[in-house]
Amino acid sequence: MRNTNTIFKAAILAGGKAKRLQGIAKGNLIITPGVTIMQNLITQIKKAAINNIIINANDMQPYKQYRLTIVPDNRKYLGSMGALSGIASVLEYYALQCDAILFLPCDAPNITAEVIVKLKAAFNAVFNNTENAIVYACTAIRAQPLCVIISVKQAAAIFLALKHGEFKIIELWKKLGALAVNFSEEQLFLNVNCVADVQGLLKCDSL
């Protein structure tokens, strides 16, 4: 049994290209007057008592306004596909600085501090018994593998998966014994993937 305070850090994954949004960086989409998705995520993470936050992005310019450290994908992962490259790069960046890292996607405008707190509590419950803990969000409809907290002790296994070409994140989490944390509200994990999603958000805000 572990008897220590878990040290959490956080990373917002913004490495993908917003091809379906005419090249606009997803994290910079405005969801309420004067507030972008990225700003909201930063606020919610801090409300959940995680103050050390970085952004994982290969195009740094759109995110410099947030005055956070921006970590690109490590060169050795540039040939890889998907968000796992960003996750591995962040794990390398933080290395021995913490026990675990919270990851959130930059296109999730509805994530709340309560979601993060619930994930932290679930992680601590697992971490109390094993240093190799991973917990991720899940609803009745689908898994949310990018809303995840990963023990830094899992870094080697994730690096190995990339080396072997394993890019399906949910399959990797299951292979590594991750715990799915259930949430009842699917809307919390809405992803903005196209212009219609943005218009829907703005319409809801105007009601």
Cα distance between residue 102 and residue 134, in whole Å: 10
Q: CATH no. for residue 33?
A: 3.90.550.10
Report the DSSP beta bridge partners of residue 54: 11, 69
Task: Classify residue 3: in a domain, yes or no.
Answer: no
- The per-residue pLDDT for 178 is 97
Domain count, the chain: 1
pLDDT tens digit string along 145-169? 999 999 999 999 999 998 888 889 9
CA atoms within 13 A on the CB side of 183: 23
Task: Classify residue 1: in a domain, yes or no.
Answer: no
- The per-residue pLDDT for 46 is 98
Task: Tell which residue, 84, 114, 118, 110, has the closest CA to residue 11.
Answer: 84
CB 138 within 8 A of CB 129: no
Task: Classify residue 113: in a domain, yes or no.
Answer: yes
Task: Classify residue 193: in a domain, yes or no.
Answer: yes
Q: Which domain holds residue 80?
A: 8-206
Task: Classify residue 49: in a domain, yes or no.
Answer: yes
CB 103 within 8 A of CB 54: no
pTM metric for this prediction: 0.91
User: Please, what sign has the CA dihedral across residues 206, 138, 124, 83?
Assistant: negative
Is 26 buried (19+), middle (13-18) or exposed (0-12) by CB count in 10 A?
A: buried
pLDDT band per the 50, 70, 90 thresholds, residue 18 = low
Mean pLDDT, to the nearest integer, of 31-36?
Answer: 88
pLDDT tens digit string along 171-186? 999 999 999 999 999 9
- Residue 78 predicted with pLDDT over 80: no
- Residue 63 predicted with pLDDT over 80: yes
CB 134 within 8 A of CB 158: no
- Residue 1 predicted with pLDDT over 60: no
Task: Tell which residue, 169, 195, 25, has the closest CA to residue 106.
Answer: 25
Task: Classify residue 149: in a domain, yes or no.
Answer: yes
As a whole number of Å, the CA-based R_g of the chain is: 16
pLDDT tens digit string along 95-123? 889 999 999 999 999 999 999 999 999 99
Cα distance between residue 125 and residue 40, in whole Å: 27
**For residue 111, what are the CA distances in angstroms to 96, 190, 191?**
27, 8, 10
Cα distance between residue 79 and residue 162, in whole Å: 10
Alpha carbon 18 to chain centroid distance? 17
* Lowest pLDDT segment from 6-10, 40-44, 128-132, 143-147: 128-132
- The per-residue pLDDT for 139 is 97
